Structure 1
Amino acid sequence: MITQTAARGGATAAGSPSVAAAGPAAPWRDRVLTGVGVYAGYVVLQVLQLFVLSRLAPRFFWYDDAQAQFGPMTWWLGRHMEGGRPPLMDPEQGQAGNLVADMQYGALDPLHWGLQALAARTDDVVLMSWVFATLSVLLLGLGLLTLLRHHGVHPAIALAGALGTASSGFLLWYGSAWWPLLWSVAWLPWFWWGLVSRRTVGVVVLAVSTWALLASGNPYILFFALALVLAHAVELVRDARSLRGLLAGPVVARLLAMSAGLAMALPTLLSTVQMSPYIERQEADPLVGNVGFAVPNLADVVLGSPTLMGQTNAWSGSLSLAPAMYTFLVAVAALALVDWRRALRSPGVLTAAAVLVLAVVFTQLPTTVAVFRYPVRYLVVVQVVLPVLVLLALTAAPLLTRPRLALAAGLIGVQALLAAFRAPVFFRWHALAAVLTVVAVAALVLALGRAAGPRGDRGRRVAGAAAVVLVLSAWGTVFVGEQMMVSLSDRADVLDARPDLGDTPFRVFGSYDPTGSTVQDYRRQLVATDSAATVITPGFGGDFGWGAGVIRGNGNLLGDFATGTGSFAVWQLAQNAHWCRNYQGATCGDPQLLLAEAPGVGVPWIDLLSSDRVLISDAAPEPLRAHFEQPGWTLVRQAGVFREYQREDGLPGRVTAARGADVAEVPGGVGLGRGDGPMDSYTVSTGGSAGQLALRTTWWPGMEATVDGQSIPVGTVDGAVLRLDLPAGLDGARLEISYVPIGERILVPSFVVAGVLLVAALAVWVLTDRRGPRGAAGRRHRAPAEVAA
């Protein structure tokens, strides 16, 4: 029966099996109940999946950069909120302390403020990581489900697709380290749905998702949001058979909605642009322009499976030991089950195909292109868009002939063979993944075939059972890879002769994780809390600095310990030339650069940039250790592998050099930069001649200074730190230093403009709905599934 149906040409776009199952003949109450049931079922199954994963791998999302950068900073920002807003700068964190320069933190984004406030409500950092991941995964899955239902995909198949895609490999295994990936990708299907939805609420969703994507901190996703817009515009022109399709009222309303989203994201975007001339990022290889690192093999990209260990193209690279190459497990095989000539004429298919091709091409870019690096990051877009393309195309034009079924089986075989080539020792896991994929594809075929044929009681039972098998297969895929990684961890323990770590999945950047799971654990371990000091260490070791009491990256912020450094995605260009810091905050480079005298201030760079307290590791270069034995510094204590020194120059606050000026700190005058007030306040006197102050505060555009309320020019020491030239004749004048980036100045106006644009978008939409072809006739042609959704 399946092949007979397919031989007649399959279901048409209007009479596809999914639409037939949920068409207008069904009472509206049934459609609503079906829609609610599908959404409730997705939420329950997704939460259950993540709950089981949390029991199998409790620290899955507290890993690598999540542990060293995003988690601690998110918690710290939430704990230091005032008036519902986080600080913009903490000079005690050195060049890592400009929280606006790294857009991943969302210092000027109210959506991030909500996440920060939520994170600050708990001291259990592992729980915090799971809450963030759960919110992101649910947001993604619900968006996918809404998009698929809008296009008429059968409820059960859409549910399986949402589950399988929202737990795809790159999203989970790399998103567990890079939280901005989770947050940004979660908004992509909502943006897509906002572009195509015929509902008024779609205008609001489009505005909010545009805002969220632009301010997400993941600029890599923006290429594909733009591609969605352009590809959808092509579909509009194709369907209207004229460019006039781009002038319709709904299109104008959507453009206004996207403009509103852009206005809301402008504080983040313009501040990033303002900082960009003064930041440093990894540059392209000077020899051939590409080192090949993190460039995935094209075969791995297009034939990903649940157990595939992706291989990079770097000659000296190694196998990526994470099952990150898979998506919804039937997606690749189901490509063979579509009549693509007919499918490409159906709504959404051309858009999905265009974005997929672009994403696949982007995965093959050089390692570094301008400020963008590691093209393996684009793999997540492939894994989100491929299932959408396949399910939309299957809904519109299934082709379930025997030759196509054989081709699908062949694709599954090739997937298994490639996975076995990459990691032959796990052939049993590859076989299990192949069997699971065969079962899932068979269930998909049965569900599609039975829906297209006669629907007696037996047919309904078969279709229902097939749908359950498909959903459960999608739900369980993630556990195949997770358990395979547990077996890999056991194998590594034996080969490396190390203690058995239990049922812990292997992770490249540390299967053994000694760090704590609560804020109290961190506070007990750190050499200092609720204070600031400059830490000088060449590295943090295999335990991430846990044993030494100074942790890599931002981890020390969980004890409110500012170390003059932190995690880096961007560096302040001028300062990093004098005090090199690696991405985890360790000191690198030639020590003589730090010991050289800073121009115009008469002190070496190491004194100019250091706090009044310095913790220097016994493993630091000997010239740096010897420097602190000289006059001007006093040894206070030996704290494990660190020696603590205190500065004895008598200068207050963050002032590290002064000429021709007497300066004293105003009580409580040194704090965080918040934009609405000073972060430094001093009293200064200069007598009959001008004076000069230099501070250890890293200079960034947006720095301002006033003396008794009057603005004075803000200078720098070689572009690295703040220098102030004070006029003569000051006697106890009040000096205030503030940080006001452009995003802070336009924050309120931007949201006012956004509100106006959104109201205009809604007005255009409503007027068009009443007057134009989108009126009653338009509503009659609305996709049946959209009503239920």
Structure 2
Amino acid sequence: MSAPASTASDRDVQPPVSERIPALRREAVAMALVAVFTVTVSLLPLAFNRQFYFFADTPDGAYGQWYELGQQLAAGNWPLMNPAAWMAGNYVAEGQWGLWNPLILATGLFVSASANAVVASTVIKVFFLAVGATGVYALTRVYGARREWAIVAGIAAPFAGFTFFMDAPSWVTNMITWAFFAWAAAALRLWITRGAAWILAVYVAVYLLITVGYVQGTLMLVFFFIALLLEAAFRRDGTAAVRTLVAGVPAALIALAVYLPGVLTASVTARSSEIANDGFLVVTLTGLFTSSVPSGQVDLTGWWGRYTDVPLLYIFWLLPLLAVVPWSRVRQGWAKWSTLVLFGGMAAALAVGPSTLGPLRFPARTMPWVALVVICLTCLLLSRAEGKWVLSRVRVLTVGVLWAAPFWLAFSQVPPGWRRHLVFAAVTGAALLGIVLLRRARHGARKRTVAVIAATGIVVVGIQSAMFADSLVSRAPYEDEASAYTEGMPTGYGEGMVVGSPLGMPESVFDEVEFANMWYLTDRVNVLNLYTPVEYQAMAQDLCLAYDGRTCPDAVDKIFDTDPETGAVVADLMSLDSVQILEDDVRDIDDLIALTPPAGWTRSFVGQHSVVWTRDVPTGEVGSVSWTSPGTEVEVIEDTPLQTTFRVTAVPADGGRVALSRLAWPGYQVDGADLAAPLRGYLTSVDVPADATGSLITVAFAPPAWPLIVGGMLGSALFTAAAAVFAVRRRRRRVARP
């Protein structure tokens, strides 16, 4: 798999088939070893925390999202819109639902059919860690590393701190795009150096990465394309530049299809457009300097305070060994691997940049890509210097200094962790010393070195798991079994809303309420308090509703307030049937019992921490007609997630107005009437003409610029196919020339 540097003399040169097949077999065996190692070692934290891979944003967001996606697919639906999810229901605008991604769709089906939420999440995450590990192996091989050193890169990358202690347990979409990125970068390198059908591999990898819908991964891919073009410019390599641009066309079309709905919907959401820096999750240089310390609890301000609870900026304990690489090899390497160097520089610049760059937040999210580049370059340099390591006293002493200084800095930042640092200093110091001694002995040194590195990696992850795994505890006490979430709101039915926040309350409150996207698992009631990264600003402000479903206590007054424009109660306009009110710092359960339900509602449940009010007479379906102006009468004919059709049976001479219990997302069109300004700033409304009696009116949703979106997806595939045919024919003509 190793590719030569891109030059006019060696580009597109392929070894004969008789050599390629055995080589591919050896590569497959090596990848299998990397995958098996990754799967095995990634299970070590489970010995100390069975919910290690079911932490924070996974149960709050991703798991329930996967479950709902699987349920919809199993029912034969490809869900673009869910009115009952309200702020979280514009799935195509959120992007992160992965509606275009076959592996994400398969993940949804797998999760919805799995009985144990923790086991299902663990299987998914370990699978993608293995995908990323083998991708890093492939990338390192493509850039010229020996097989043994590519294996080292592959087994090290998944266990870098941010990937293993943040993305894998919590921010799974960041991890998935990281896993696909290595494959996309490797495929791009092969396409540029070899041409032909490698453009198909580029398309598959890029498609899988972008259609996850997580902008961080797509941004990293853009950075890599920029780095490729810069390298081509430095080398004055026109063919490489053209091939990079050719590969960029389908990537741009896919990105257009995935992100355009969100861009065209941004006007009603709470997405930021400012540039600011409050230091939140901004990587510090002192933190980066301790990246070889597996126990470094570094200076990185986040939800935990100033210093991290886990080694988030750890990259690789082997980094001090770079001191033995001859400088001549370093100079030669930078020229050959300039794309990786440029890309790594851009990723690092973003990691230490402002905390907010428009919609981009949390710069530390870039660390998995920084770690990937550092690990790849480390293994490439050590591989290139194979047999040429400088093991003089000065160089070995330098290794010692580079090993000891980061440990001292890590101790200085969090002195109470000195015992942890001593343990890891002993383990990594012994391993580095062992490698140096093996290299001086020379006989069988390469394979034995890899064995020492692999063994040390197992020990490091095992000790990290023992020390840190149990510190990952979610905000809510989530159960393992999926069936534990089916009951949901006690006595609730129809469309429901929770007032208050269960966070910070006694754990027994979760016997009565769920949180965030785990509401998708409930059977009786559709609760709108779901997790969403975009929100709908007018609704969030009106109902005091947060991105993860929490509300302020006053929300109960807001939903039973009378709308001044229509004279209707807000709960009626939203077609709410159930409302659960939680205790808070001011009101205890006795205060909640003392509250009198509005007319037409009954207190149907009194628990230890909450009460539930349910409507005496159910309303219509969410998304349907919820109010008509005086003199206007309609009959609902059809109501689906994407459209509502009603017949006008009466309308005044000056026309009428109809409101629907749907958020007024951009993309709604009306046939037979006119779309009106949203009621209360967020409820879809229709102006009915005076002559509409007896006519049908259809309110239908399609993502903004939907034909362009579909065309972008189709165009990316057709362009790639055409490019592949052209490249293959061009190679055949070149080979056929005398």
TM-score, structure 2 normalization: 0.87
Residues 598-636 of structure 1, C-alpha deviations (whole Å, 9 max, x = no match): 453223545534613322334498799999633343434
- Contact 2:679–2:685 (8 Å) recurs in 1: yes
Name stretches of at least 5 consecutive residues in structure 2 with no aligned partner.
Answer: 7-14
Aligned residue type for 1:652: G
- Once residues 577 and 624 of structure 1 are traced to their aligned partners in structure 2, the CA distance between those partners, rounded to angstroms, is 24
- Cα pair distance change 1:185/1:32, threshold 3 Å: closer
- Indicate whether 1:385 and 2:373 are aligned: yes
The structure-2 alpha-carbon separation of the partners of 1:543 and 1:131, relative to structure 1 and needing over 3 Å to count, comes to: farther
CA distance in 1: counterparts of 2:123 and 2:36, whole angstroms = 15
* 1:346-745 paired onto structure 2 within 5 Å: 346=333, 348-397=336-385, 399-402=389-392, 403-442=394-433, 445=436, 459-460=443-444, 462-485=445-468, 505-507=470-472, 509-510=474-475, 514-524=477-487, 526-527=489-490, 531-542=494-505, 547-560=510-523, 561-588=525-552, 597-598=562-563, 600-605=565-570, 607-609=572-574, 611-619=576-584, 629-638=597-606, 641-647=609-615, 652-654=620-622, 655-659=625-629, 660-666=631-637, 669-673=638-642, 678=643, 680-689=644-653, 690-706=655-671, 710=672, 712-731=674-693, 733-742=695-704, 744-745=706-707
**Deviations 1:298-348, CA, capped at 9 Å, x for gaps:** 111232221111222589943211122212321x31343334564344365
Identity of aligned residues (%): 21
Match of 1:326 in 2: 314
The alignment partner of 2:283 has SS state of: coil
Cα distance in 2 between the residues matched to 1:226 and 1:207: 14
C-alpha separation between the residues in 2 aligned to 1:746 and 1:110? 21
> Alignment partner for residue 217 of structure 1, among 213, 218, 221?
213
Alpha carbons 1:530, 1:559 under 8 Å: kept: no
Q: What SS does the corresponding residue of 2:55 show, helix, strand or coil?
A: coil
1:136 aligns with 2:128: yes
Return closer, same or farther for 1:128/1:321 CA change in 2, 3 Å cut-off.
Answer: same
d(CA) in 2 for partners of 1:59, 1:566: 22
Specify the alignment match of 1:167 in structure 2: 159
- Give the Å deviation of 1:273: 1.2
Name which of 64, 77, 99 aligns with 1:107. 99
RMSD of aligned C-alpha atoms?
Answer: 3.4
Which of these residues, 330, 333, 337, is aligned with residue 343 of structure 1?
A: 330
Q: Structure 1: which 5+ residue stretches go unaligned?
A: 1-11, 15-22, 454-458, 487-504, 778-789
Aligned equivalents of 1:529 and 1:47: distance in 2? 42
Shift, 1:554, TM fit: 0.8
Question: 2:527 and 2:430 mapped to 1: Cα distance?
Answer: 54
Structure 1: which amino acid aligns with 2:265?
Answer: M
Give the 5 Å matches for 1:83-98: 86-98=78-90
Aligned pair in 2 of structure 1 residues 141, 603: CA closer, same or farther (>3 Å)?
Answer: same
Q: Quick one: which amino acid aligns to residue 669 of structure 2?
A: E
- State the partner residue of 2:9: none
Q: Deviations over 1:706-734 (max 9, x none)?
A: 4xxx4643541143111112233555654
**In structure 2, what residue type is equivalent to 1:527?**
P
Q: Secondary structure at the match of 2:658?
A: strand
Counterpart CA distance in 2 for 1:776 and 1:620 is 81
Q: Which amino acid aligns with 1:426?
A: G
Check 1:354–1:650 CA distance in 2 against 1; reply closer, same or farther (3 A cut).
closer
| Shift in Å, 1:284 | 5.8
Q: How many Å apart are 1:46 and its aligned residue? A: 1.5
Query: Does residue 1:278 correspond to 2:261, yes or no?
Result: no
Say which structure, 1 or 2, has more relative contact order (CA 8 Å, 6+ apart): 1
2:731 corresponds to which residue? 769
Cα contact 2:601–2:616 (8 A) shared by 1: yes
| TM-score (normalizing by structure 1) | 0.81
Contact 1:293 1:317 in 2 (8 A): no
Q: Aligned partners of 1:86 and 1:530: how far apart in 2?
A: 25
**Match of residue 303 from structure 1:** 290
For 1:131 and 1:563, the matched residues in 2 are separated by: 28
Change (3 A) 1:147 1:219: same
Cα pair 1:564 1:611 within 8 Å, conserved: no
Alignment check: 8 A CA contact 1:446 1:463 kept: no
Greater mean alpha carbon deviation, residues 624-633 or residues 50-59: 624-633
1:522 deviates by 1.4
The residue type equivalent to 2:257 in the other structure is P
Change (3 A) 1:57 1:400: farther
> Partners in 1 of 2:437 and 2:24 — Cα distance?
25
User: Which residue of structure 1 lines up, in the alignment, with residue 254 of structure 2?
Assistant: 264
Q: Distance in 1 between matches of 2:596 and 2:707?
A: 42
SS state at 1:550 partner: coil
Name the CA shift for 1:337/1:195 in 2 (closer, same or farther; >3 Å).
farther
Give the CA deviation at 1:103.
1.6
SS in 1 for 2:99: coil
Checking the alignment, whether the CA contact within 8 Å between 1:108 and 1:744 is kept in structure 2 is: no
1:723 partner letter: S
Q: State how far apart, in whole Å, the 1-side matches of 2:348 and 2:507 are.
A: 35
> Where in structure 2 are the equivalents of 1:160-239 lying within 5 Å?
160-175=152-167, 176-197=169-190, 198=194, 200-239=196-235
SS in 2 for 1:587: coil
Out of 743, 747, 757, the residue aligned to residue 719 of structure 2 is 757
Q: For residues 734-776 of structure 1, what are the alpha-carbon distances to aligned partners after superposition, in whole Å with 9 as ceiling and x for unaligned?
A: 444332103644454333212221112212322343355xx69
Change (3 A) 1:179 1:665: same
Q: What's the secondary structure of 1:603's corresponding residue?
A: coil
Whether the 8 Å CA contact 1:264–1:750 is kept in 2: the answer is: yes
Between the aligned partners of 1:620 and 1:109, the Cα distance in structure 2 is 44
Q: Give the number of equivalent residue pairs.
A: 707
- Cα distance in 1 for residues equivalent to 2:51 and 2:256: 35
